Structure 1
Amino acid sequence: MSNHRILVTAAGGQLGRLTIDALLKRVPASQIVAGLRDPAKGADLAARGVSVVATDYSKPETLDAAFKGIDRLLLISSNELGQRVAQHRNVIDAAKRADVKLIAYTSVLRADTSKLSVAKEHLPTEELIRASGIPFVLLRNGWYTENYTASIPAALAHNALVSSAGDGRIASATRADYAAAAAIVLVEEGHAGKVYELAGDQAYTLEDFAAEISKQCGRAIPYVRLPEADFKAIMLNAGLPEELAELIATSNTAAADGALFDDSHTLSKLIGRTTTPFAATIAETLKA
């Protein structure tokens, strides 16, 4: 068992908390540090024996304090669109000052060739990490299944699942699947320098997804294919911010061109089990 001190940034978020859960199955809580913008929101983590520190991507002084004595760092990408590269640079620079021995970063599937708009912020971050000289692991995560199950309440309310993804095949996995992979590369040896293209074992279209929702809820929920502009307009009308609606619409359009498909099974090989079937994630959502 390694004795590395491991810090997870954005530990208050969904992926961060799941990564902490996965780490606790592998190493003692005394080796784990949870970085949160507001440490007060990490009381439950502290109760489990995890150290909780302030890490604000926009405040380098918090990063310098948090990274002291850290051996391995998971940089979970910022969710502030348009600010990510600058914020990530702060984290990488602080990691270098603290002599962190390994940095793992949650990037996006095939960041160097992807048509996904988010790749425009992930790829420069990868380049900053490479240039830093810090040993690294790039976790190029595909889409979360939860990105689509989040649409289930609206689909049930309006009796349709709508998207601009056409008939693109999507190889998604759950956040817990990706968190398991992050925990493994942070704890085990031999991952430095690796670039992992991570996606689910099971590829599906949104028509398949809608059919599974229909099967489980007991009524027909058809899949309606929309042009990107119309899909974006629906999200704007539902109250989503312009940038987020744009991101979701363009990402779904890119999915129609295969941006979210991968059949390498790298994720399941890394975590040593099959990824979670999308039907199981739908079932969890419908029970909630």
Structure 2
Amino acid sequence: MRATDRSRSALHQPPGRRLPPPGGSQPWSRPRVRAADFDDRESLTRAFDGAERALVISTDALGRRVQQHGNAFDAAVRAGVGQLLYTSLARAGESGNPLVPAPEHRATERLLARSGVPFTVLRNNIYPDVLLELASLREAVKTGVLGSISGTSGEGDIGYLGCIGYVGYVAREDCAAVRAALLAEGGHTGEYLDVTGPVAVNYAGIADALTQATGRPVRFEARPEPESAAAYAARGAEPERIAMAAQLWAAAREGWLDIATHAVERLTGRPATTLAEFFARHREALLGQVESDDDVDRSGSA
């Protein structure tokens, strides 16, 4: 279930026509799509009716999410749902987690634990998509240099956040596969599962992944904070996006996102997507400007 105000939910094992799955011999149920509103408990109860297991994906209504998630959990209890899955954040249960969404995820996890329904919490690490938005990857591929955003410590010294901060970036597709496996098979009740990529990387690792994915050499180079912030602004980034990037790298520097597990492979039967594999899926976009410039250079020298 995913929404702020309105939601369409596909619940496990609803009534429906039996269909053969691709490449398999056992039938599966066609999902029934139902409308629901996270602020309307009755609609949620109707949507959950008949569900053996259900997934609640956190909404994006900051400041209202805990209440909305609680409404969903209460409705699941009334509907007799046998197991609830909830998508949370890496290390959400720790009070010192500096990421803005952490307190609401932590409060939601507590509500879920008190709901009385068998549950599984999926603590996703950071999606690598954030790098496509917040890091200057195209520029890095073009110039061969990936620069980090950096910050200042309490003593005023420059701390190069991307250089020393590791993140276990996890592909959205892998998170979806984990959810599907748990919805289909159940189990792992009462567990808080860290869903991550296969290895945690810092900015030097991001540069290596870009090299592997594009075939062009990219190296990491740390930069002072004013230069990085100015570079973000020059690319048209809004101040809140710059602040978001700084917060993310600060959390990485402090080790909050340095988590890598084998949960994806253990639950889905296939290895988690590496950062290089993720970048390879976006190779055309990463190389677009570079290849255009190469074409110009070749035509100009002919």
> Does TM, normalized by the shorter one, top 0.5?
yes
1:89 matched to 2:70 = yes
Instruction: Note the residue ranges of structure 2 that are not aligned, 5 or more in a row.
Output: 4-8, 13-20, 151-160, 286-302
In structure 2, the partner of 1:238 is: 236
In structure 2, the partner of 1:212 is: 209
**Greater C-alpha radius of gyration:** 2
Q: How many equivalent pairs are there?
A: 251
In structure 2, the partner of 1:173 is: 170
Q: Which amino acid aligns with 1:265?
A: H
Identity %: 32
Secondary structure in structure 1 of the residue aligned to 2:248: helix
Assess if the C-alpha contact under 8 Å between 1:213 and 1:221 holds in 2: no
In structure 1, the partner of 2:115 is: 132
Of 255, 269, 273, which residue of structure 1 is paired with 2:270?
Answer: 273
Secondary structure in structure 1 of the residue aligned to 2:277: helix
Secondary structure in structure 2 of the residue aligned to 1:171: coil
Assess if the C-alpha contact under 8 Å between 1:232 and 1:249 holds in 2: no
Counterparts of 1:232 and 1:57, CA distance in 2: 40
Instruction: Give the TM-score of the pair, scaled to structure 2.
Output: 0.71
Counterparts of 1:142 and 1:116, CA distance in 2: 12
Q: Which amino acid aligns with 2:199?
A: Q
Which deviations, in whole Å up to 9, do the C-alpha atoms of 1:120-156 show, x marking residues without a partner? 111100000011111100111111222223446x432
Which deviations, in whole Å up to 9, do the C-alpha atoms of 1:164-213 show, x marking residues without a partner? 43321111221111111111221214321122122121221122213432
Secondary structure in structure 2 of the residue aligned to 1:87: helix
1:80 matched to 2:64 = no
Which deviations, in whole Å up to 9, do the C-alpha atoms of 1:228-256 show, x marking residues without a partner? 996499369835473x6544431221011
Secondary structure in structure 2 of the residue aligned to 1:195: strand
Secondary structure in structure 2 of the residue aligned to 1:163: coil
Instruction: Give the TM-score of the pair, scaled to structure 1.
Output: 0.74
In structure 2, the partner of 1:13 is: none
Q: Which amino acid aligns with 1:133?
A: G
Of 93, 102, 125, which residue of structure 1 is paired with 2:83?
Answer: 102
Question: Residues 281 and 264 from structure 1, CA distance in 2 versus in 1: closer, same or farther, beyond 3 angstroms?
Answer: closer
Of 90, 93, 116, which residue of structure 1 is paired with 2:99?
Answer: 116
Question: Residues 101 and 206 from structure 1, CA distance in 2 versus in 1: closer, same or farther, beyond 3 angstroms?
Answer: same
Secondary structure in structure 2 of the residue aligned to 1:148: helix
Of 184, 199, 210, which residue of structure 2 is paired with 1:187?
Answer: 184
Using the TM superposition, give the Cα deviation of residue 263 of structure 1 relative to its aligned residue in structure 2, in angstroms.
3.8
Which deviations, in whole Å up to 9, do the C-alpha atoms of 1:4-44 show, x marking residues without a partner? xxxx445xxxxx99x9xxxx7698552xxxxxxxxxxxxxx
Secondary structure in structure 1 of the residue aligned to 2:252: helix
Assess if the C-alpha contact under 8 Å between 2:169 and 2:200 holds in 1: yes
Counterparts of 2:222 and 2:236, CA distance in 1: 17
Assess if the C-alpha contact under 8 Å between 1:73 and 1:102 holds in 2: yes
Please, what is the CA RMSD of the aligned residues?
Answer: 3.3
Question: Residues 200 and 214 from structure 1, CA distance in 2 versus in 1: closer, same or farther, beyond 3 angstroms?
Answer: closer
Instruction: Note the residue ranges of structure 1 that are not aligned, 5 or more in a row.
Output: 1-7, 11-15, 31-48
Counterparts of 1:286 and 1:184, CA distance in 2: 29
Question: Residues 226 and 256 from structure 1, CA distance in 2 versus in 1: closer, same or farther, beyond 3 angstroms?
Answer: farther
Which deviations, in whole Å up to 9, do the C-alpha atoms of 1:68-88 show, x marking residues without a partner? 212211011112222221221
In structure 2, the partner of 1:69 is: 50
